[in-house]
Amino acid sequence: MSNDLTKFNPNSFDELLTLCKMLAGTQLVPRALHGKTEDILAIVMMGADLRLSPMQSLQNISCINGKVTIWGDGMLAIVQGHPSFVGMKEWLENPNTPDAVAYCRVHRRCGDEVQETVRGFSVDQAKRASLWGNKGPWSQYPERMLQMRARGFACRDAFADALRGIMPREEVMDYNDRPAGKVPMRHAALDAAVPKKDSLIQQVEDVLEVLDVEPPLVEKPKKAPGLISLAEVPPKPEPKKPKKPRTAAGNNKSFKKATARFAECGISADQLLAFMEIEHGKQFTEARAEKLRPVYQQVVRGQYPKGLEPMVTCSAELPPPPGSDMAGVE
């Protein structure tokens, strides 16, 4: 087989159009180009300007939102096939760290001299461009993506005449995937040049001080008639908790306290039960306790009602104050 067949190129537009029609009906072109003769024709013509054969063009050139792109490996092939190409080196510094940087050095012959072009792309730049950690290649092959960015910058700067402004597909895909309205990078100098709100206020105050002008007073908004603030609304009083009814156990406890008071005056618990006509302390209610209070005061003074005669001399000197434990009211 001759070299003319291995490097087949159409000699006329009709031959080129026939070739594109044949390729559109095969499985040797990307799926997106099946049956699209016009698109294949445009790609082949673009590849001819880049010194690529028709099949190389179809495998490396694609269009994203009207922008012609080329895969990074195809860009490398174009640069390495250029007559002025001397050499190229790619490397990665600080791999697998947040300080990783990919570099690409390209050497090109310019007359009698060799021109060197070095470009790099770091993790910090990827973060500022909102690329680092994105779904897809940036999370699956982050170091490879850093390398593609550095290669694209170096090759486009060193061989602009060969690439003719075509950008690598990996870079254009990142631009296309970025959310709308999101700024890819911010420049520190621009941020510093824009004064913040506090800075503007301070500048105005400085000017007023130099001019000896009092700053305008900002009046507080007047309250609409008929409206009151929340601070003026008095709090609602807490509802009083109802008293719990005294239980039998509580009655018995109060009765024991009362019998202890009367025991100091020589009156037994049995005498107290008989006097109040109850059988046990559980029947000692608040009403009976109120009736017993003046009786106890009489007993302390030595005045004993019938049925409450003391067995010993009363040792109590003063009557307990109203509401004391003697009455059984807690």
Higher-confidence residue: 218 or 30? 30
Residue 119: predicted pLDDT = 92
Q: What pLDDT was estimated at residue 166?
A: 84
Using the predicted structure, report yes or no on whether residue 176 has a pLDDT greater than 50.
Answer: yes
**What pLDDT score does 330 carry?**
38
The pLDDT of residue 116 = 93
Q: What is the mean pLDDT of residues 82-98?
A: 90
**How large a percentage of the chain has pLDDT more than 90?**
12
pLDDT(66) > 80 = no
Q: What is the pLDDT of residue 186?
A: 45
pLDDT of residue 207: 56
Say which residue, 270 or 326, is predicted with more confidence.
Answer: 270
Whether the predicted pLDDT of 105 surpasses 60: yes
Higher pLDDT, 189 or 98: 98
What is the structure's pLDDT at 322? 43
Local confidence band at 118 (pLDDT 50, 70, 90 cut-offs): very high
Query: Taking residues 85-112, what's their average pLDDT?
Result: 91
pLDDT band at 290, cuts 50/70/90?
A: confident
Average pLDDT, the chain: 76
Averaged pLDDT, 302-324 = 62
Please give the residue that has the higher pLDDT: either 204 or 65. Answer: 65
Cα 171 to Cα 71: distance, rounded to the nearest angstrom: 9
Which of these ranges, 117-126, 141-150, 274-283, has the smallest mean pLDDT? Answer: 274-283
Res 254 pLDDT > 60: yes
Structure confidence at residue 216 (pLDDT) = 58
* Confidence tier at 170 by pLDDT (50, 70, 90): confident
Residue 135's pLDDT is: 83
pTM: 0.48
Residue 114 banded pLDDT, cuts 50, 70, 90: very high
